[in-house]
Amino acid sequence: MNRRLAPGVDTVFFMTDERNHYVSSSLVKEVASFGGDVSGLVPPAVADALTAKFTQQTPKGK
């Protein structure tokens, strides 16, 4: 979008450290629902609650 708005301006993108990036709650819940490790994305209590929630649920349609 920057190039379209101002073609003569160069844009530099710096990736943030993973500890400081934004992660959506929807993405975290989806990863947890498939049994993925979310411990590095949320506080320990939240990771434990998500694990408990998704290990207790039965697959839909069964």
pTM greater than the 0.85 cutoff:
no
CA distance 50 to 31: 10
In a domain, 8, yes or no: no
| Domain extent for 51 | 21-57
- 50: which 2 tokens? 């998500």
Quick check: is 7 in a domain?
no
Per-residue pLDDT at 50 = 95
The rounded distance, in Å, linking the Cα atoms of 35 and 54 is: 8
Is 15 a domain residue?
A: no
More confident of the two residues 19 and 59: 19
Residue 62 or residue 9, greater confidence: 9
Q: How many domains does the chain have?
A: 1
Q: Give per-residue pLDDT as tens, 9-55.
A: 998 888 888 777 788 999 999 999 999 999 988 999 999 999 999 98
Provide the pLDDT for residue 62. 54
**36 within domain boundaries:** yes
